[in-house]
Amino acid sequence: MKTIGEKFPEFKKEAVVSLETGKEFKTLTNADIAGKWTVLFWWPLDFTFVCPTEIESFNRNYEEFAKRNTNLIGASIDSQFVHLAWRNNHPGLKNLKFPMLADTSKSLSCELGILEPENKIAYRATFIIDPEGIIQHVSVNGLNVGRNVKEVIRILDALQTGELTPCDWEPGQETL
C-alpha cells in the first residue's frame, strides 16, 4: 500500500463534477490537485448502504475543507455514468460540492494498494496529500465501517500546522 512520505501516483480519470446538463464530467489529473492540500477518499461501490452516509458527511463538511485551502475528491471503482446515476437518484447526493472520481480500470486503486483481494473493490481509504503531492496520512477501514469526517479534518489541521501535535490535539490548542 502507498503510504506516508511517498509520492501520490500519477492519474488521469473521469469524474462527475456537476449535475448541469452537458457539464457533468471532467477529466481530473495530478495537475488538478497540485499546489494544494488534497483529501482523496475512496468508498467500495455506489448504490450501497454505508457509502452515502460518508459521502453526505464529507459534503456537509465541504466548507471546512475549503477553509483549509484543501481539494476534496471522492472515488470508487464505479464509472462516471454510475456515479451520475447515483447522484441523480439519491436525495443526499444530488448537491455534492466535490468531484466523484471514476477508477473503472482499478489502476489507481490497485497502485494505491487498496483493493480488497476477493471482490476487487476498494476499501474505505482516505489519503491526505500535501501541496507537493506527497502522502502525509493514510487510513483504511474495512468495508463495513464508516469513517469519522471530523477526525479527517482534525488530522488535516494537525498536518497543516507543521508542528508536533500531541495525542487528542484540537485546533487552537498548543503544539509541542
What's the pLDDT tens digit per position in 76-115? 999 999 999 999 999 999 999 999 999 999 999 999 999 9
| Domain 36-161 annotated CATH 3.40.30.10 | yes
Residue 19 has pLDDT above 90, yes or no: no
pTM flag (> 0.85): yes
Q: Is 110 a catalytic residue?
A: no
pLDDT value of position 22: 76
DSSP 3-state assignment of 98?
coil
pLDDT at residue 37 above 80? yes
Q: What integer pLDDT is reported at residue 115 of this predicted model? A: 96
d(CA 112, CA 26): 22
Kindly name the residue from 28, 33, 40, 51 that is annotated as catalytic.
51
C-alpha 91/C-alpha 56 separation (Å) is: 10
Give me the pLDDT at residue 135, please.
98
Half-sphere exposure of residue 137, counting CA atoms within 13 Å on the CB side?
19
The domains of the chain are located at 36-161
Q: Which of 11-25, 47-61, 155-169 has the lowest mean pLDDT?
A: 11-25
Rounded-to-integer distance, Cα 130 and Cα 153, Å: 14
